[in-house]
A and B are shown apart, each in its own frame.
Chain A
Amino acid sequence: MSLKTETMVLNMGPQHPSTHGVLRLELEIEGEVIKKVIPHLGYLHRCFEKHAEAMQYNQVVPYTDRLDYLAAMGNNFGYVLAAEKLLGIQVPERVEYIRVIMAELQRIASHTVAIATNGADIGALTPFLYLFRDREHILTIFEETCGARMLYNYMWIGGLSHDIHPDFVRKTKEFTNYFKNTIVEVDNLLSYNKIFIERTANVGVLPADTAINYGATGPVLRGSGVKFDLRKEDPYSIYNRFDFDIPVGKGLQGTVGDCWDRYYVRMREMEQSLRIIEHAIDQIPEGDVQSAIPKRIKPPKGTSYARVENPRGELGYFLISDGNTNPFRVKVRAPSFVNLEVFGELCKGHLVADVIAILGSIDIVLGEVDR
């Protein structure tokens, strides 16, 4: 005898505490077991790419801030690299160093949010507040330097909007020393917590081949054990001068590529970012950060593509110039958007509670997914 059962469609979002913004998930569930997940995007669509066509090259920079709003420095970085390639500008050494330090500080700030929200979704609210407290130190450093806490408009084509603050070096060193304790604290409180491991290990396992087939990048790819980081594979700016490791998922608590691995890769990446900052902070050469900023930006006809390793993965900008002051086309390869593709694959057969754990471990930012 078999009972007649029906599946239920549960609508999760766009107003839901753990969809990390305005993602809407249509879950087809049988009891609490997921049969199918359909993500619905577009609630935060702002026509960035079309909008950029109506802007001059330098005016696009503030709009890139709003893509991945947790890693605005990284977004600026990618765009200015693409534009500088198009214009053939060589920026001063000082600018390169400051850009790298800012991007790495931003990576730490972004990963703290990723880890904090992943933990908070699973119910650990205290590490969430600890991490947000310490992210504040980075935001303060940014605020002193460029006046903004979140949307910086800091990196300009050919330079920076402001030179670093006189206190910058001291405060950054203080921060790097201080933050090491936070990493230990969070490791103790969350990473090796038995319940947290139970909730994340062997959940949402993403095999390496699937990750590559879907084009996943960043911690999602590295969590699956693939050692791929643009800072090493295709070094941009001056990343080849620094010594750092690429943490990959090893399946320490479960299977390679599970939620815990993705989480753990982020934890270890923060340590590597601290290493880069500590290395770079003492080497900042003297110079004028605005000396290479062109007076009039009118690149020749042509195309350029620049990609950077953003906290969420490979962020690429493809610019087409038709010789005017405005870009003819700006195409963004957004890591969150691509990483979200694997989400449906990961959720199958898991429970409703796992959906939020998996979504948290993929770590999307809707500003970037929808653009």
Chain B
Amino acid sequence: MYQFFFDLTGNVIISTLAVALVPLICILLVTLFGVWLERKVSAWMQDRVGPNRIGPYGIFQTVADFIKMLQKEDAVSSEIDGVLYNIAPVLVFAGSFAAFAVIPFAATIIGSEIEVGLFYMLAVSSFVVAGILMGGWSSNNKYSLLGSMRSAAQIVSYEIPTALVVLSMVMLTGTLSLTQISELQTSSFWHWNIFGGPGWELSKFLLIPFMVVGFIIIFISTLAEVNRTPFDIPEAESELVAGYFTEYCGMKYGMFMLAEYGNMFAVSLLVSVLFFGGYQSPVGYLGKTFGIEWLVSLEQFGWFFAKGWFFIFVQMWLRWTLPRLRVDQLMTLCWKYLIPYAVINLVIIGIISLL
């Protein structure tokens, strides 16, 4: 994408900024739409109407909320640790923002096509922990402190099963690049990794059950990493008021919100890249039939967003259905169930892929 902007403008700085701006706008729109969708989905599930005043079906409600949030007074307690308090939301947001750099939205639409995309994504998403700890500590609020301690323990623990499943996928595909993983799962949904990857060998059929297990493990653990119900204990509103961002208001609070929805979208996209073909269409492309190059990109972009939103919808669905776990049960689930199963899965997938 950088090359595209460079060809267009011929200026290094402008094209770099343009590339950086795309994910930013993407996160903003995703958050605005995501919050609206969350409220509509929950309303639909709970027999309510949901936002319906501003714009058709209340679609501009979150825009209005966002403007309100920008205008709010930045009220801070006098007892805070100023520097950490102000850095924390930026850091949390930066973590989720940076993850978008390596996500291939289509074969040609990618911020930075680096070879170790998966590794990079896991690395920057753990950035968030530091921000949350800072926010919780510097707020000088006991609820925030408890929330951030829970959050740190949770995110660090759940990164292990995520990484193990990612590792098994890396073993299978032989690459760390998100673009190449997507490229491999081409032409039809039968070639997606959840169905054992491309090809028609016998090993493919052997792989399917373990792929499903891997998908379930990574979906649960990414759910925990982005602090969604049933794993939303760091911000459990009935226990810890709002968790680590209790003391934040105005746009600083907004940054946490942006990061939360940005993260939700990022992990949904990650799951769809690893198991559901990323930007690949399940059936084929109109653009290829008619020989129109740009239509293919557009279709890929559409498919990728559709998959991403589907997983976001599943996350919302779970949130409004399930109660939340307790902190010790959360750790039990991770260390006693997910990690052992992920390790076994890793070994079995390794053996099968050697066959």
Interface residues of A (CB under 8 A from B): 8, 10-11, 16-18, 32, 119-126, 129-130, 133, 189-190, 193, 195-196, 198-199, 351-356
Contacts and interface: CB of A to CB of B under 8 A. Distances in A.
Nearest to B45: A126
Among B42, B46, B320, the most chain A Cβ lie within 10 Å of the Cβ of B46
Contacts of A10: 142-143, 146
Given A16-B241, A121-B238, A130-B47, A353 B327 contact: yes
Given A18-B238, A121-B238, A129-B47, A193 B323 contact: yes
Contact of A353 (B47, B239, B321, B322): B239
Contact of B324 (A133, A195, A355): A195
Given A10-B142, A17-B238, A18-B239, A351 B326 contact: yes
Interface residues of B, number: 28
B132 to A, nearest CB: 17
Interface in B274-317: none
A133 B46 CA distance: 9
Among B232, B326, B327, B328, the most chain A Cβ lie within 10 Å of the Cβ of B326
Given A125-B320, A130-B47, A354-B326, 13 more contacts: A8-B142, A32-B327, A120-B238, A121-B239, A125-B46, A129-B47, A195-B230, A196-B323, A198-B326, A199-B324, A199-B326, A351-B328, A352-B146
Interface of B: 42, 45-48, 142-143, 146, 229-230, 232-233, 236-241, 320-329
6 contacts: A10-B146, A17-B238, A123-B323, A199-B326, A353-B327, A356-B238
B241 A17 contact: yes
A31 B216 CA distance: 32
Nearest to B150: A32
A230 B4 CA distance: 80
Given A129-B46, A198-B329, A352-B146, A122 B237 contact: no
Contacts of B328: 351
A122 B323 contact: yes
A123 B232 contact: yes
Given A130-B46, A352-B146, A123 B236 contact: yes
B166 to A, nearest CB: 26
A126 B44 CA distance: 10
B312 to A, nearest CB: 18
Given A16-B241, A133-B47, A352-B146, A123 B230 contact: yes
B238 A122 contact: yes
A122 B326 CA distance: 9
A198 B329 CA distance: 8
